[in-house]
Chain A
C-alpha cells in the first residue's frame, strides 16, 4: 500500500482533529501512526497514512481544501516504499533532561554532541516555562544509546555544555523490561 505523511498546522481550537479525521475516514485512509500536540498556540498534527487505491498526491483531489479554508496549513509527502516502517532501534533507552535559564543554542549544542556520538534521538520535547522575567528552558530527550555507551559516558560528554551554557543536565537509563 502507498503511504503518505500528512502534516497539518493551525491555530488551536476544538474540532481540528475531528475535521481532519472525518475527511480521512470518508476517503478510506488508514492512519498508521500519528502524533498531535499543541505547540505554542498552534495545533500540529503529523500522520502517516495509507490508502489501498490512492497512489499519489493527485489521488486525494481537493479533499483537503476544507482544511485550508479553515486556516489550517496542509502538507502531504508521498513516502518512498518502506518509508512507513519504523526502524528497529537497538540499544538502551536513555532520558536526558536539560534545563536552565533560557539562552540560544541549548538544543543545538546538546544534539550536536549526541549526533557526533551516534546517539539516536527518538523523541524530543522542549518548553519555555518560568516567568516572563526569568524564562526557563526545559528540554527532554529520549535517545537510544549505541552498544558500549552508558549513562556515565553521556553525562561526561555533556559536562562541557553544562558548564558553558550554565544549564542543568540529568541523564538516566530507562530500563526496558519484559514482564
Chain B
C-alpha cells in the first residue's frame, strides 16, 4: 500500500492502451490498494486510473461520495478491474480537470447515464447503472485505460454550438 506519484502529460504512459487483467493476483490487489491510497491522498480526487500511476493494466478506482456533486448519488468506493461500458444514454457537459494535466480544464460532453460491468477485487462480476457525476467520473477514468485524455474529447464552444448550421446550397 502506497501513495504513488501521479504521472503528468507528456509522460508517454498516459497515451498507451492498458492491458486486460488476466487474473486478479497479489500484484493487481496491490495496484488497487495503491490507486485508492493515491486517490485519498490527493484529497479532492474522485478517481484514479492505473496508467496515471504508471501501471498499464485495466484497473480504475472511483469514489464520488465525498464530493459535493456526487454526495447524493453514488455507489461508494468502486474498485473496477477490466471495466467496460455496456450502455450510454443522454448527454452531460462538465468542465473537466485531470491530475495528469494540471492547471487546465475543458468542457467535455459525456453520457449522462451509463451501465458498466467490471470485476471487483474478489473477482466477482458486477454491473452498475449510474448517472450524473459518478457516470462522468467513470467514463473519464476508463478513457485513461485507452490512452485518452479529456483533451481528446474537448470541443470548442463554437464548433459544438454552431456546426449544425448547414451551408446554404
Partner of B158, one of A37, A175, A179: A37
Does the CB pair A175–B47 fall under 8 Å?
A: no
The CB with the most chain B CB atoms within 10 A, among A93, A175, A177, is that of A177
In the bound complex, how far is the Cα of B141 from the Cα of A177, in angstroms? 13
Residue of A whose beta carbon sits closest to that of B138? A179
Q: Are A176 and B158 within 8 A (Cβ)?
A: no
- For window 83-99 of chain A, which residues contact chain B by CB distance below 8 Å? 93
Query: Are B165 and A177 closer than 8 Å at their CB atoms?
Result: no
A127 part of interface (Cβ distance < 8 Å): yes
Residue interface mask B141-169, A partner, CB < 8 A = 1: 10000000010000001100110010000
B105: which of A37, A127, A176 is its contact (CB, 8 Å)?
A176
B157/A140 in contact, CB under 8 A:
yes
**In the complex, A177→B140 CA distance in Å?**
11
Please tell me if A174 contacts chain B, counting CB pairs below 8 Å.
Answer: yes
Q: In the complex the two chains form, is A179's CB within 8 Å of B46's CB?
A: yes
- Do A179 and B96 have beta carbons less than 8 Å apart? yes
Cβ contact within 8 Å between B161 and A178: no
Q: Contacts A127-B162, A129-B165, A174-B94 hold; do A179 and B157 have CB atoms under 8 A apart?
A: no
| Chain B binding surface, main DSSP class | mixed
| Most central of A174, A176, A179 by chain B CB within 10 Å | A179
Q: Are A123 and B157 in contact (CB under 8 A)?
A: yes
CB interface residues, A 147-173, toward B, < 8 Å: none
| Residues on the B chain within 8 Å of A37, using CB | 158
Q: Encode B82-108 as 1/0 by CB contact (under 8 A) with A.
A: 000000000001111111000001010
Closest residue to B105 on the A side, CB-wise? A176
Contact assessment for A174 and B162 in the assembled complex, using a CB-CB cutoff below 8 Å: no
Please name the residue on chain A nearest to B141 by beta carbon: A179
A148 to chain B, nearest CB (A): 16
Q: Are B161 and A177 neighbours in the complex by a CB distance under 8 Å?
A: no
Assembled-state Cα–Cα distance A91/B136 (Å): 22
Name A125's contact: one of B46, B69, B99, B157 (CB within 8 Å): B157
Question: Considering the chains assembled together, what is the distance between the CA atoms of A129 and B168 in angstroms?
Answer: 11
Does B133 lie at the interface of the complex (its beta carbon under 8 Å from any beta carbon of A)?
yes
Q: How far is the CA of A177 from the CA of B98 in the complex (A)?
A: 8
- Give the A-binding residues of B (Cβ under 8 A): 44-47, 67, 69, 93-99, 105, 107, 133, 136-137, 140-141, 150, 157-158, 161-162, 165
A-B residue pairs in contact (CB < 8 Å), sample of 14: A37-B158, A93-B95, A123-B157, A125-B158, A125-B162, A129-B165, A138-B162, A140-B161, A174-B107, A176-B96, A177-B69, A177-B137, A178-B44, A179-B97
